[in-house]
Structure 1
Amino acid sequence: MTTTRWLEPIAGLQRLDPQHRYWLDDHLFPVSITGVLQVAKSSYALGRIEASRAVWEPRGNTCHQALELFLNGRFRSGVLPSDGHGQGNTPSGAEVDFEAYREWIEPLIGHERWQAVEVIASERPTCCLVRNVAGTYDTAYIDPHLPAASERPAGVSGPARVLADLKSLTASGSTYCTRAQIGGYLALEWSQGNWFDYGQTIWSRPGRTQFSPPYPRRECLAAWAAVWAQYVATHRPF
């Protein structure tokens, strides 16, 4: 399937990896969505995340790149993965070992949900100059089987639109709340004129991929607003 409604890149927006820094032309954003979210984590939680980085980071990067390759190939003809700005890209053109994470990747790209939606974005950088924040979300799609949000503004029509984030876990890994992160992306995209009715998390485990129930837009935005208020009370990046 090839979509004619793929979201256009934001002109001038660039991302530098592995630092995860964003520029809009010559404007450097002081923080990303991920950086804002860190204020809601305890020092203990941040320490545990850092201690296990060698395990989750290559797995997550590889799964993200595999999904990006798949979505671009299936839903967008003639387009390769983003030029160094997607989470799955490796430094210096290093070869990616997809085979090492086959147990995660095969159920992810083979999931039946991809037969029911029309993807309109993959590894999409976005930003908001008012909040002075940028970030990259994993995918977005049109889902004709979901009802549109009741709070849609005037001028927004068509089937429900969903913004989704991919998380890779171990076989015994627990799911967790991602509404604040997704709400941040929803807020950035609305500043760019792109409306989404729902958020969703894609949980990838060895041998199994699950899509969460769709999260109502207002729940995601409320979770983001709480974290954002905590962030600006102490950092104020303006």
Structure 2
Amino acid sequence: MSISRDDSTWTYRLLDQSHWFPVSITGVITRVCKPAEALAWIEASRDVWEPRGNTAHAALQHHAVHTWQAPPALWPSGLDAAQPADPWGPVYGAYGDWIAPLLAEPLWQHVQVVAAELMLYDLERNVAGTLDLLLRFPDGSYGIADLKTLSARGRRYDTRAQLGAGIVMAEQHYELEISRGLTIWASPGRCQIQTHTASACRQSWERVFEVYLRDSRPF
């Protein structure tokens, strides 16, 4: 089934069924895990983190489709992925301090990216979302990776539920052996990789979704 996303509202629909998903992965996690004061702070600082995150994600997708030679039909609209992503060029340079360490991360020498910005869904839970990267590891197993950008003073937070949702959906759609979920933490001058087991991520997502069903599901 083909799926599309309305970027202005971050909502998803199945094109062949005209089915709109009532909530995204991020929407579920935000409702359950973010208190009101945290949401207020996030909204107040949107003009800082949103362009930074969007630019870093675009650079990572560019890097992935260029490095692993994705067919042109899968290139993002308007992107010439025949050329490598330049972290200091006019497109990404405003956030080069974040993007240069991200693209130089040694991880890329040891994995294969098989999909970037992959939209998936779970019809049983009626939820959809986007995976930043679907990876293949040297041992033959698969995993997903999610990119987070932080300010110089930014602190990490728990990403296991978000990774778990992506793992569950990837397993449903592709029947892959998924071994782990990675969070890529990009901050000025630094990139760090945090790894969780697939089982820990699945369990976290299941717990979060149970709370969402109990407290917030409108139907």
Q: Assess same fold via TM > 0.5.
A: yes
Mark the runs of 5 or more structure 1 residues left unpaired by the alignment.
Answer: 1-10, 85-95, 146-158
Match of 1:55 among 43, 48, 53: 48
Aligned residue type for 2:55: T
Name the residue aligned to 1:197.
179
Mark the runs of 5 or more structure 2 residues left unpaired by the alignment.
Answer: 79-89
Q: How does 1:106-185 map to 2 (within 5 A)?
A: 106-144=100-138, 159-185=140-166
Name the residue aligned to 2:22.
30
Corresponding residue pairs, total:
203
- Give structure 1 regions of 4+ aligned residues with deviation exceeding 6 angstroms: none
Is contact 1:125-1:136 (8 Å) kept?
yes
Is contact 1:178-1:201 (8 Å) kept?
yes
Name the residue aligned to 1:17.
7
Name the residue aligned to 1:72.
65
Aligned residue type for 2:22: P
Deviation sequence 1:23-67 (CA, Å, 0-9, x none): 112110000000000122111111111111110000000000000
Is contact 2:183-2:193 (8 Å) kept?
yes
Name the residue aligned to 1:209.
191
TM-score, normalisation: structure 2: 0.87
Name the residue aligned to 2:99.
105
- C-alpha distance in 1 between matches for 2:201 and 2:67: 29
Change (3 A) 1:76 1:97: closer
* Stretch of structure 1 that moved more, 72-81 or 49-58: 72-81
TM-score, normalisation: structure 1: 0.81
Is contact 2:143-2:167 (8 Å) kept?
no
Is contact 1:30-1:237 (8 Å) kept?
no
CA-atom RMSD in angstroms = 1.7
SS in structure 2 opposite 1:192? helix
- C-alpha distance in 2 between matches for 1:78 and 1:105: 24
Is contact 2:12-2:20 (8 Å) kept?
yes
Report sequence identity in percent.
Answer: 41
2:206 is aligned with 1:225: yes
